[in-house]
A and B are shown apart, each in its own frame.
Chain A
């Protein structure tokens, strides 16, 4: 036989797993069941009866919930198939979720986080019985203090957005303590920071001021100067912003805020390219948060559980949510519960102490790298990004506004406006077509300030070969836009489903958020 030619970089024979699986309710067969419940023993039944008759009749559920009845192998098969229809980072060259820092989540950390010594801990156990997990929290906090230069951390926030909310809550308490909370009612952020830097503080009642980018993509300093004043409570910003542009004048921004009595909160969702290179403290920040599920490798879980660990300077420590984990004089670990009586504390932002398995996985990741390893992570993430940037900018239809010819940190927001102009094919079209090759990318937050956007962040995880494959695939699809645009307009063809008709999604008469709603609304059709 002839040798089979596998030299092409693009996976033209790819097809995502497609099981055409029914909705789980359609799998129901009366009488089947997927698990047995450990029942009350005869002695208990004899002592207390059936239990249900203890309830007054109006509190007894009249009809059992209409859940499906399915045997265990069929439930397993269903969800295994759905998992196969999900392109997680374990199976994908995941450099397309720019700003999300989707990197390798080491399997050993998952194994450790699934040991009963952590999964079977109740959060209210006597502290003397949870010294191991408290020590892990304490050690991880110590590492984050060194990585940020800040002085105290809470693990409560369950994601970056809740970390921002925690920062806004602390800013409010800080000014309440000074009697200025009514006056200081503005938070300044930038157009290329995450939308939650605006949305989360607005929940606390803050008016949001957006600083637009200047011609180089930096937050416009002149506009910033105009915005800062006696009503400024804080400045919440990502740096680098979602464009990958690092604002080198950041210290001037934070200094101006401090001169006007405000606080600076650092959205460090984009910290991966900065580990060991530069820190929140030196840049003048009073608060920051890191996403352990991004920078520190813990898996994203389709959107949590996660941790937006949030840190502050010594001066802001009284405003943290509690309880804080402490090391006592006898070297044992316990809780500081002063938040219960200190009106300066925000109280709590989440139940208990945070997502412990996520903290454990982040701890394990740092311990597998050390200071030099984290620095290497940052360097390689930036190297990968700038390599990708250079190669993509060589493609005529690709551009990236701002600071041309200079380096980006760990991500870039590109535009393919020229391609759209020349072919009518949009970034959304290209996105769907990329899925036919087993690739994904994200466009941008809304509204799009950079037209026809693509946001890429390779992190330290992909190899050069992975990057080259991604670049080759993008090039291939861009060429298709010129040569065979129809195949892109009608994509995806080799994904799990074909183009969806999203028209019901904004129509209250048609949208169906549950199966029962779908059945009701389509009964007559």
Chain B
């Protein structure tokens, strides 16, 4: 018999009472309560869970959720300058169209025969990122950049048999926390200092921190605070000099115009896919990637799935397959495989592929150039405001920059509150994470910002701090 008080539900075909009775009869049972016989009575709940009452219809559900979401103020109606690991770019409609396709949306762990399209789309995603970063091996996406960076360090540790990794002290503190937890307890992260004027990694501090214990040197380009690390080749050379592996984290939206790290010595490139066609989704659009040269020793250290192209028994037909599957924890070795693999962020990988296929080489060049121009313009506009430094660091940057409000005598918190009342989300407040920067904020300008938007910000900041 059906659950008391419960009516047929559109998501549960066999909630029809007559069908249930017939199926129960097939099993020699008379009631749904005769199921779950294996669970001891002492572990069974004796009454219904205390949950909100079910909404009576799809219409009511829609109304209810829209009412809740209506309390949010989103970046299409506000003017947003927040970045710091999640960036507002234009998402081509075709990206949403493809990742909304039910077949991709509800695909999962099928084989290459029934999920051929998933295999091909992810192989193509790997290939497109491979062109962007100029490397031959790219993984099926992991969770986010934090995870990609952490795994890259674990890979380097296994490759070198060493247990220390050097990271910049001006890195995203949240990312550092993820990496620290993932790399610990066995791998120690050591912070390397920076030049206070330019923000560039302090090469002498780097040199003195490097040793035969160093598994990897990790740095980012552009850096978390937006400036471009100009001495990539030197940093990689120093790492290699002690037998360490160089890992460079990138924002892929820069790679139409910035030299890919592989060309200045990176052994592993990793980064965040969210700029490539994912909405911000309150931080839910994140997906990480890792890339290496096509060398067996690197490939065999990836914990992720790697889809490869293979022939089939029919001439002229493409096929796909898992490359070196047994290295993963899904293979025969479980915990003796490389780290672990599981559900991560595949749909965002497919979406990033769609994005790059649309952008093409020219689109990525234009994207990079436009961001350079607009962010430079914003820096100059803010620099013109009395007591505001448009860019705290004297280094060329990409997309993000540290605006220093210290001399205004106002806190970033107060300034952001005043901006909010004008419909603007100001940059991320850095005063807690980087106290040495005083009252500074990390601003983000992308291709979506118009001259009018930037001028509006400058006008508002002038009024607020003046």
Give the contacting residue for B283; candidates A48, A84, A351; CB below 8 A.
A351
Contact flags A194-229 to B (C-beta < 8 A → 1, else 0)? 011011111111001000000000000000000000
B-side contacts of A56, CB under 8 Å: 230, 396
Given A79-B354, A505-B308, A357 contacting B259 (CB threshold 8 A): no
Given A37-B367, A501-B312, A514 contacting B138 (CB threshold 8 A): yes
Would A387 and B318 count as touching, CB distance under 8 A?
no
Would A90 and B281 count as touching, CB distance under 8 A?
no
Q: Which one of A114-122, A258-266, A418-426 is at the interface? A: A114-122
Q: Does B464 contact A (CB under 8 A)?
A: no
Q: How far is the CB of A310 from chain B (nearest CB, A)?
A: 13
A-side contacts of B43, CB under 8 Å: 250-251, 278, 282-283
Interface centre among A32, A366, A387, by most chain B C-beta atoms within 10 angstroms, is A387
Given A83-B103, A501-B311, A16 contacting B364 (CB threshold 8 A): no
B-side contacts of A116, CB under 8 Å: 74, 76-77
Q: Which one of B127-135, B191-199, B241-249, B403-411 is at the interface? A: B127-135
Give the contacting residue for B257; candidates A47, A49, A61, A196; CB below 8 A.
A61
B-side contacts of A484, CB under 8 Å: none
Would B347 and A40 count as touching, CB distance under 8 A?
no
Bound state CA distance, A128 and B258, in angstroms? 37
A-side contacts of B128, CB under 8 Å: 24, 67
Would B106 and A90 count as touching, CB distance under 8 A?
yes
Give the contacting residue for B343; candidates A52, A130, A300, A403; CB below 8 A.
A300
The chain B residue sitting closest to A202, CB to CB, is B335
Count chain B residues whose beta carbon lies closer than 8 angstroms to a beta carbon of A. Answer: 217
Q: Does B435 contact A (CB under 8 A)?
A: no
A-side contacts of B330, CB under 8 Å: 195, 445-446
A-side contacts of B339, CB under 8 Å: 199, 203
B-side contacts of A100, CB under 8 Å: 108-109
Given A65-B364, A86-B104, A115-B69, A130 contacting B282 (CB threshold 8 A): yes
Q: How far is the CB of B177 from chain A (nearest CB, A)?
A: 4
A-side contacts of B71, CB under 8 Å: 131-132, 135
A354-403 residues at the B interface, CB under 8 angstroms:
354-358, 360, 363-364, 366-380, 382-384, 386-387, 390-391, 403
Would A118 and B108 count as touching, CB distance under 8 A?
no
Would B282 and A203 count as touching, CB distance under 8 A?
no
Contact flags A344-358 to B (C-beta < 8 A → 1, else 0)? 001111111111111
Bound state CA distance, A72 and B355, in angstroms? 10
B-side contacts of A356, CB under 8 Å: 281-284
Would A23 and B11 count as touching, CB distance under 8 A?
no
Bound state CA distance, A371 and B331, in angstroms? 39
Would A75 and B257 count as touching, CB distance under 8 A?
no
Would A506 and B376 count as touching, CB distance under 8 A?
no
Would A387 and B324 count as touching, CB distance under 8 A?
no
Would A65 and B341 count as touching, CB distance under 8 A?
no
Contact flags B255-270 to A (C-beta < 8 A → 1, else 0)? 1111110011000000
Q: Does A324 contact B (CB under 8 A)?
A: no
Bound state CA distance, A496 and B285, in angstroms? 30
Given A83-B98, A432-B113, A33 contacting B362 (CB threshold 8 A): yes
Q: Does B117 contact A (CB under 8 A)?
A: yes
Bound state CA distance, A202 and B336, in angstroms? 8
Give the contacting residue for A47; candidates B126, B233, B380; CB below 8 A.
B380
Would A518 and B309 count as touching, CB distance under 8 A?
yes
Given A118-B69, A303-B346, A59 contacting B230 (CB threshold 8 A): yes
Would B257 and A277 count as touching, CB distance under 8 A?
no
Bound state CA distance, A85 and B334, in angstroms? 31
Q: How far is the CB of B73 from chain A (nearest CB, A)?
A: 4
Would A52 and B369 count as touching, CB distance under 8 A?
yes
Would A129 and B420 count as touching, CB distance under 8 A?
yes
Q: Does A253 contact B (CB under 8 A)?
A: no
Would A59 and B259 count as touching, CB distance under 8 A?
yes
Q: Does B208 contact A (CB under 8 A)?
A: no
Would B174 and A351 count as touching, CB distance under 8 A?
yes
B-side contacts of A346, CB under 8 Å: 181
Q: How far is the CB of B271 from chain A (nearest CB, A)?
A: 13
Q: Does A242 contact B (CB under 8 A)?
A: no
Q: How far is the CB of A184 from chain B (nearest CB, A)?
A: 12
Bound state CA distance, A114 and B285, in angstroms? 12
Q: Does A78 contact B (CB under 8 A)?
A: yes
B-side contacts of A202, CB under 8 Å: 335-336, 340
Q: Does A427 contact B (CB under 8 A)?
A: no
Bound state CA distance, A16 and B312, in angstroms? 17
Given A67-B132, A352-B282, A446-B331, A158 contacting B359 (CB threshold 8 A): no
B-side contacts of A246, CB under 8 Å: 38-39
B103-123 residues at the A interface, CB under 8 angstroms:
103-118, 120-123
Contact flags B304-315 to A (C-beta < 8 A → 1, else 0)? 001111111110
Would B396 and A55 count as touching, CB distance under 8 A?
yes
Given A25-B127, A130-B72, A293-B343, A143 contacting B51 (CB threshold 8 A): yes
Q: How far is the CB of B118 from chain A (nearest CB, A)?
A: 5
B-side contacts of A48, CB under 8 Å: 373, 376-377, 380
Bound state CA distance, A147 and B45, in angstroms? 10
Q: Does A328 contact B (CB under 8 A)?
A: no
B-side contacts of A446, CB under 8 Å: 330-332
Would B181 and A169 count as touching, CB distance under 8 A?
yes
A-side contacts of B369, CB under 8 Å: 40, 50-52
A-side contacts of B5, CB under 8 Å: 372
Q: How far is the CB of A36 from chain B (nearest CB, A)?
A: 8
B-side contacts of A511, CB under 8 Å: 299, 308, 323-324
Contact flags B130-164 to A (C-beta < 8 A → 1, else 0)? 11101111101101111100000010000000000
A60-85 residues at the B interface, CB under 8 angstroms:
60-62, 64-70, 72, 75-76, 78-85
Q: Does B218 contact A (CB under 8 A)?
A: no
Q: Does A234 contact B (CB under 8 A)?
A: no
Bound state CA distance, A391 and B235, in angstroms? 65
Interface centre among B4, B285, B342, by most chain A C-beta atoms within 10 angstroms, is B342
Bound state CA distance, A431 and B186, in angstroms? 42
Would B284 and A357 count as touching, CB distance under 8 A?
yes
Q: Does B436 contact A (CB under 8 A)?
A: no
Give the contacting residue for A121; candidates B12, B72, B90, B306; CB below 8 A.
B72
Give the contacting residue for A501; candidates B2, B264, B319; CB below 8 A.
B319
Give the contacting residue for B66; candidates A32, A84, A112; CB below 8 A.
A112
Bound state CA distance, A347 and B189, in angstroms? 14
The chain B residue sitting closest to A76, CB to CB, is B94
A101-128 residues at the B interface, CB under 8 angstroms:
102-106, 108, 110-112, 114-126, 128
B34-70 residues at the A interface, CB under 8 angstroms:
35-40, 42-45, 48-55, 58, 61-62, 64-66, 68-70
Would B185 and A205 count as touching, CB distance under 8 A?
yes
Task: List 8 tightest A-B contacts by C-beta distance, closest first.
Answer: A161-B342, A352-B283, A370-B54, A34-B358, A51-B372, A123-B283, A85-B117, A90-B102
Contact sample, A vs B, 29 pairs, CB 8 Å cutoff: A16-B114, A35-B92, A38-B447, A52-B372, A55-B228, A55-B372, A115-B69, A116-B74, A118-B281, A122-B82, A122-B88, A123-B282, A130-B73, A159-B343, A162-B143, A201-B335, A273-B36, A276-B45, A297-B11, A350-B146, A351-B286, A363-B65, A383-B20, A391-B26, A500-B311, A501-B313, A504-B308, A513-B323, A516-B136
